[in-house]
Amino acid sequence: MPISLGLQTDKARGAYAELAVLAEELDFDGVSVFSDLLYQSSIVPLIEMAWATERIRLGCACWNPFTLHPYEIANQAALLDEHSGGRAYVGLARGSWLDGIGVQPKRPVAHLRDAVGFIDALLEGEGRGYEGPTFRLDEGVRLVTHSRRLPILVGSWGPLGAALAGERADEIKIGGCANPAMIGVTRERLRVGADSAGRRAEDIGVVLGAVTVIDGDRDAARSLARREVAMYLDVIAELDPTVQLPPDLIPTIRERIRDGRDDAGEIIPDDVLDLFAFAGDPDDIAAQAQGLIDAGVDRIEFGTPHGTDEAEGIRLLGREVLPRLSPARRPAPGR
C-alpha cells in the first residue's frame, strides 16, 4: 500500500532534502511537490530531493500545461528522472485560481489529453512525432539525453478528467480528498475511458491526497487543519457528488476569504473536515487512512503542512500511523 507525502513549494533551500531524507528513513514510498499558482517552481525542490535520496518516488502533482508548455514539462520531468536514477513520474492537472493571471482554459480536458500525447511522444524517445489540436512535435525530434516513457498521473475530480485518466494515465489523483466514497465513484468514471482504450479501470491507480495535520493535541491539529483547508474547500467541496454540504458553508467561507479573515475555516463542521483533510491525533489519522485502504484506494498522499511542526508531523505519520495500517483488510483488488 504506497503511502506518500505531498509538500508545498514554500520552503528554504535545504529543507526539501531534509524532509525527503526523513521520509525515506520512515519508509514512505514517495514525495510529491505541488505546483500551486504563485508558489515557487517545483523542479528545484525535486532535484534537491533527488540528490539527497536513493529510493523514494518523486514527482510534481501537478504541472499545469496551461501555464507551462508540455515541452518544458517533459524536459523537466526527464531531468528529474535522470538525477533521481529513474524515480520520476509526471503529474498533470488543470489547476485553480488561473483567472488571477488572465488564463481561462477552454476545453481543459482536451488540452490535457493533447499535453499527455505530446509528453509521451517526446519522452519515449523514438522520434515518432505527435500532431494534436494544440501541440505538435515533428518526427525525429528527440530529447538529447532521455528516452523513457514516464508514468503519467492526471489530477482531476470530474468525470471527463477521470475518463482521460482511464484512457491515457497510470494514476488519477483526487487532490484535497479524504472521502472513501469518491474511490468507487472515480473507479466507475475511469472505466469510461479505459473501456474506450481497451484497458482495465482496475489497472489505473486511484490516489487520494489532502491537507494533513497530525499532533498529540487533537484539538490543535484540527484547528490548524480547518485554517489550511478553507482555501481549498472553496474550490473543491462542490466537486464531490457524494457530499451534501450545509447550504451557507461555501458562500460564507468565500466571503471570509475575500475579506482577508483568518477564521474562514472555523465554521467547517467536523464531518465535513474529515472528508477533505486528514486531521487529529495518530488514532484519527490511522482510522481515516485505513478507511481509504478498505475502500480500495491505491495510494494515499498525506499533504502539507503535516503538523504544527512539519518534520515532527512527518515523524508522527511514519512512526505512529504507517505501522497501524493493514492492507490485508482491503478487499482483494482486480489488478
For residue 28, the tally of other CB atoms under 10 A from its CB is 23
Contacts of 309 (CB under 8 A, 6+ apart): none
Domain ranges of the chain: 3-221+276-329
Report how many helices (DSSP H) and strands (DSSP E) the chain contains, helices first. Answer: 11, 11
Q: Tens-digit pLDDT profile for the chain (335 aa)?
A: 899 999 999 999 999 999 999 999 999 999 999 988 777 899 999 999 999 999 999 999 999 999 999 999 999 999 999 999 999 999 999 876 667 767 787 888 999 999 999 999 999 999 999 999 999 999 999 999 888 999 999 999 999 999 999 999 999 999 999 999 999 999 999 999 999 999 999 999 999 999 999 999 999 999 999 999 998 888 888 899 999 999 999 999 999 999 989 899 999 999 999 999 999 999 999 999 999 999 999 999 999 999 999 999 999 999 999 999 997 444 433 33
Tell me the β-bridge partners of 175.
Answer: 209
pTM of structure: 0.93
Residue the block writes with cell 518534520: 311
C-alpha cell at 214: 497530525
Instruction: Please tell me the distance from the alpha carbon of residue 174 to that of residue 176, in angstroms, as a whole number.
Output: 7
Q: Tell me which DSSP letter residue 303 carries.
A: E
For residue 321, the tally of other CB atoms under 10 A from its CB is 26
Instruction: Please tell me the distance from the alpha carbon of residue 231 to that of residue 217, in angstroms, as a whole number.
Output: 23
Cis, bond preceding 62 (omega within 30 deg of 0): yes
What type of residue sits at position 214? I
Helix (H, G, I), strand (E, B) or coil at 243: coil
Q: What is the DSSP string of 249-286?
A: HHHHHHHHHHTT-S-GGGG--HHHHHHHEEEESHHHHH
Helix (H, G, I), strand (E, B) or coil at 104: coil
- What's the distance, CA 298 to chain centroid? 13
CATH fourth-level superfamily of 3-221+276-329: Luciferase-like domain (3.20.20.30)
Contacts of 146 (CB under 8 A, 6+ apart): 78, 81, 82, 123, 125
Alpha helices in 197-237 (DSSP H): 218-236
Pairing of strands 152-155, 277-280: unpaired
Instruction: Please tell me the distance from the alpha carbon of residue 54 to that of residue 20, in angstroms, as a whole number.
Output: 10
